[in-house]
Amino acid sequence: MKQQGAILWLTGLSGAGKTTIAQSVAQELLRRNYCVELLDGDVVRTHLSQGLGFSKPDRDINVRRIGFVANLLSRNGIIAIVAAISPYREIREELKQTTTNFKEIYVQASLAVCESRDVKGLYAKAKAGQIKNFTGISDPYEEPTNPDIICQTDRFTVEQCVNQVLHYLEYQGLLLNI
């Protein structure tokens, strides 16, 4: 199948549901025979951005690296799905300007809901001062001002959010209608 590449950039707080939605969208697109690559923020940090910390400059470098890889994939007809907190609006806006078919998906959930989903206890550690520069606690998360999609994971199911993303992509002409 000849397909158009795209970057689906899922941004939001830790625990909002970015990876869950990204994996489900990827599985559905693969089932439909689309070429897809999933770039998870935690995995990329381990391999591509090893050694970077969580200061603003390090986070910006990490997001730019993910954006560079996603753009390479997209230019070659792959749908690159990125699940990364990417807390700073300026860098996300920069990527919108320097990449092709960048679709910003804000995975939105309240801080309280994200904390309740936190099986690793990272929010509690951040509140206790054991983790510095933790997004949403001691470091800001700048919400997108004009995202292409808002997936409210504290109001809708994963399936509903995935369908929202797929219908948007169909409407934009990036997928053939089912």
Read off the pLDDT of residues 69-81 as tens digits, 9 standing for 90 and up: 999 999 999 999 9
How many helices (H) and strands (E) the chain has is answered by 7, 5
How confident is the model at residue 177, as a pLDDT? 53
Q: What is the mean pLDDT of the chain?
A: 92
Residue with tokens 């994200």: 114
Q: Is the pLDDT of residue 52 over 90?
A: no
Q: Is the pLDDT of residue 26 over 50?
A: yes
How confident is the model at residue 41, as a pLDDT? 82
Distance CA 158, CA 166 (A): 12
> Rg of the chain's alpha carbons, rounded to an integer?
16
Domains and CATH numbers, the chain: 6-171 (3.40.50.300)
How confident is the model at residue 178, as a pLDDT? 44
How confident is the model at residue 156, as a pLDDT? 97
How confident is the model at residue 175, as a pLDDT? 85
Q: Edge-to-edge strands of the sheet including 6-11?
A: 36-40, 79-83, 6-11, 102-108, 149-152
For this structure, is 86 an active site residue? yes
Q: Is the pLDDT of residue 1 over 60?
A: no
How do residues 116-164 score in pLDDT, each as one tens digit? 999 889 999 999 999 888 999 999 999 999 999 999 999 999 999 999 9
How confident is the model at residue 42, as a pLDDT? 78
Q: Which has more confidence, 25 or 41?
A: 25
Q: Is the pLDDT of residue 35 over 50?
A: yes
Using the 8-state DSSP alphabet, how is residue 27 labeled?
H
CB neighbour list of residue 153: distance below 8 Å, 6 or more residues apart: 16, 17, 21, 107, 108, 109, 113, 161
Active-site residue identified among 86, 110, 116, 138: 86
How confident is the model at residue 88, as a pLDDT? 96
